[in-house]
Amino acid sequence: MLSFIGGAALYAHAPGSLVTVGGLNVPIMLFAGASYAIAVFFTACLTTYFLPGLRHLADAVAVMRLVVGLGALTMPGFAHTLIQSPILSATLVVGGAGLLLAALPMARAQGSVAAEALGQVFDWVDEHSLAYQAART
Protein backbone atom coordinates (compact mmCIF):
# COMPACT_ATOMS: atom_id res chain seq x y z
CA MET A 1 0.00 0.00 0.00
CA LEU A 2 2.86 2.38 0.81
CA SER A 3 4.41 1.77 -2.59
CA PHE A 4 1.08 2.31 -4.35
CA ILE A 5 0.60 5.68 -2.67
CA GLY A 6 4.22 6.63 -3.30
CA GLY A 7 4.06 5.70 -6.99
CA ALA A 8 0.74 7.46 -7.48
CA ALA A 9 2.03 10.59 -5.74
CA LEU A 10 5.19 10.60 -7.86
CA TYR A 11 3.19 10.60 -11.11
CA ALA A 12 0.40 12.94 -9.95
CA HIS A 13 1.93 15.83 -11.92
CA ALA A 14 2.98 13.75 -14.93
CA PRO A 15 2.07 15.10 -18.35
CA GLY A 16 -0.47 13.03 -20.27
CA SER A 17 -2.85 12.04 -17.53
CA LEU A 18 -4.20 8.87 -19.20
CA VAL A 19 -2.59 5.64 -20.33
CA THR A 20 -4.38 2.90 -22.27
CA VAL A 21 -4.27 -0.49 -20.53
CA GLY A 22 -6.25 -3.35 -22.06
CA GLY A 23 -8.41 -0.92 -24.03
CA LEU A 24 -9.26 1.14 -20.95
CA ASN A 25 -8.08 4.67 -20.29
CA VAL A 26 -6.49 4.63 -16.85
CA PRO A 27 -5.06 7.68 -15.05
CA ILE A 28 -1.28 7.40 -15.15
CA MET A 29 -0.99 7.95 -11.42
CA LEU A 30 -3.15 4.87 -10.72
CA PHE A 31 -1.24 2.80 -13.26
CA ALA A 32 2.11 3.90 -11.80
CA GLY A 33 0.91 3.24 -8.25
CA ALA A 34 -0.27 -0.25 -9.16
CA SER A 35 2.97 -0.97 -11.02
CA TYR A 36 5.08 0.12 -8.05
CA ALA A 37 2.92 -1.89 -5.63
CA ILE A 38 3.15 -5.07 -7.72
CA ALA A 39 6.89 -4.73 -8.27
CA VAL A 40 7.63 -4.06 -4.59
CA PHE A 41 5.33 -6.90 -3.48
CA PHE A 42 7.02 -9.54 -5.60
CA THR A 43 10.49 -8.21 -4.85
CA ALA A 44 9.74 -8.25 -1.12
CA CYS A 45 8.41 -11.82 -1.32
CA LEU A 46 11.46 -13.07 -3.19
CA THR A 47 13.86 -11.19 -0.91
CA THR A 48 12.17 -12.52 2.22
CA TYR A 49 12.22 -16.08 0.92
CA PHE A 50 15.72 -16.26 -0.57
CA LEU A 51 17.56 -13.62 1.50
CA PRO A 52 15.77 -13.38 4.87
CA GLY A 53 18.57 -11.21 6.26
CA LEU A 54 17.48 -8.41 3.91
CA ARG A 55 13.77 -8.57 4.72
CA HIS A 56 13.76 -5.21 6.50
CA LEU A 57 15.28 -3.53 3.46
CA ALA A 58 12.11 -4.27 1.46
CA ASP A 59 10.00 -2.61 4.16
CA ALA A 60 12.32 0.38 4.35
CA VAL A 61 12.21 0.73 0.55
CA ALA A 62 8.40 0.91 0.68
CA VAL A 63 8.58 3.60 3.37
CA MET A 64 11.13 5.60 1.39
CA ARG A 65 9.09 5.22 -1.82
CA LEU A 66 6.24 6.89 0.08
CA VAL A 67 8.52 9.65 1.40
CA VAL A 68 9.99 10.35 -2.06
CA GLY A 69 6.52 10.22 -3.65
CA LEU A 70 5.08 12.68 -1.14
CA GLY A 71 8.10 14.94 -1.65
CA ALA A 72 7.46 14.81 -5.39
CA LEU A 73 3.78 15.55 -4.82
CA THR A 74 4.61 18.75 -2.96
CA MET A 75 7.36 19.82 -5.42
CA PRO A 76 6.30 19.31 -9.06
CA GLY A 77 9.78 20.23 -10.37
CA PHE A 78 11.30 17.49 -8.20
CA ALA A 79 8.69 15.04 -9.51
CA HIS A 80 9.58 15.90 -13.11
CA THR A 81 13.29 15.36 -12.37
CA LEU A 82 12.59 11.97 -10.76
CA ILE A 83 10.38 10.85 -13.64
CA GLN A 84 13.07 11.82 -16.15
CA SER A 85 15.85 10.10 -14.16
CA PRO A 86 14.94 6.66 -12.80
CA ILE A 87 18.53 6.25 -11.56
CA LEU A 88 18.14 9.28 -9.31
CA SER A 89 14.80 8.00 -8.06
CA ALA A 90 16.21 4.54 -7.30
CA THR A 91 19.26 6.04 -5.61
CA LEU A 92 17.10 8.20 -3.36
CA VAL A 93 14.77 5.33 -2.47
CA VAL A 94 17.36 2.60 -1.87
CA GLY A 95 19.93 4.95 -0.34
CA GLY A 96 17.29 6.46 1.91
CA ALA A 97 16.16 2.98 2.94
CA GLY A 98 19.74 2.10 3.86
CA LEU A 99 20.07 5.28 5.91
CA LEU A 100 16.73 4.60 7.57
CA LEU A 101 17.84 1.12 8.59
CA ALA A 102 21.20 2.42 9.81
CA ALA A 103 19.59 5.18 11.88
CA LEU A 104 16.77 3.05 13.31
CA PRO A 105 18.72 1.47 16.22
CA MET A 106 20.15 4.84 17.27
CA ALA A 107 16.74 6.52 17.09
CA ARG A 108 15.15 3.70 19.11
CA ALA A 109 17.85 4.05 21.76
CA GLN A 110 17.16 7.78 22.03
CA GLY A 111 13.45 7.15 22.56
CA SER A 112 12.04 8.26 19.20
CA VAL A 113 8.37 7.30 19.07
CA ALA A 114 8.36 6.90 15.28
CA ALA A 115 11.50 4.75 15.33
CA GLU A 116 10.08 2.62 18.12
CA ALA A 117 6.86 2.09 16.16
CA LEU A 118 8.76 1.12 13.01
CA GLY A 119 11.02 -1.14 15.07
CA GLN A 120 7.99 -2.86 16.61
CA VAL A 121 6.60 -3.48 13.12
CA PHE A 122 9.92 -5.07 12.10
CA ASP A 123 9.92 -7.17 15.29
CA TRP A 124 6.35 -8.34 14.64
CA VAL A 125 7.24 -9.29 11.07
CA ASP A 126 10.20 -11.28 12.40
CA GLU A 127 8.01 -13.16 14.87
CA HIS A 128 5.39 -14.03 12.24
CA SER A 129 7.63 -14.72 9.25
CA LEU A 130 7.86 -18.41 8.44
CA ALA A 131 10.98 -17.90 6.29
CA TYR A 132 12.72 -16.04 9.13
CA GLN A 133 11.77 -18.67 11.68
CA ALA A 134 12.98 -21.45 9.39
CA ALA A 135 16.29 -19.62 8.86
CA ARG A 136 16.80 -19.24 12.62
CA THR A 137 16.46 -22.97 13.30
Host domain of residue 23: 2-136
Distance of CA 12 to the CA centre of its chain: 17
The candidate with the shortest Cα–Cα distance to 68, out of 38, 45, 100, is 100
Higher pLDDT, 125 or 81: 81
Per-residue pLDDT tens digits for 10-47: 878 776 677 777 788 888 888 888 888 898 888 888 88
| Structural contact between residues 55 and 48, judged by C-beta atoms closer than 8 angstroms | yes
Region 52-75 average pLDDT: 84
Residue 88: partners with Cβ closer than 8 Å, 6 or more residues away? 81, 82
Distances (CA, A) of 25 to 10, 15, 21, 111: 19, 15, 6, 48
Question: Quick check: 114 pLDDT over 80?
Answer: no
Q: How many domains does the chain have?
A: 1
Residue 47: partners with Cβ closer than 8 Å, 6 or more residues away? 54, 55, 57, 58
Other beta carbons within 10 angstroms of residue 33's beta carbon come to: 23
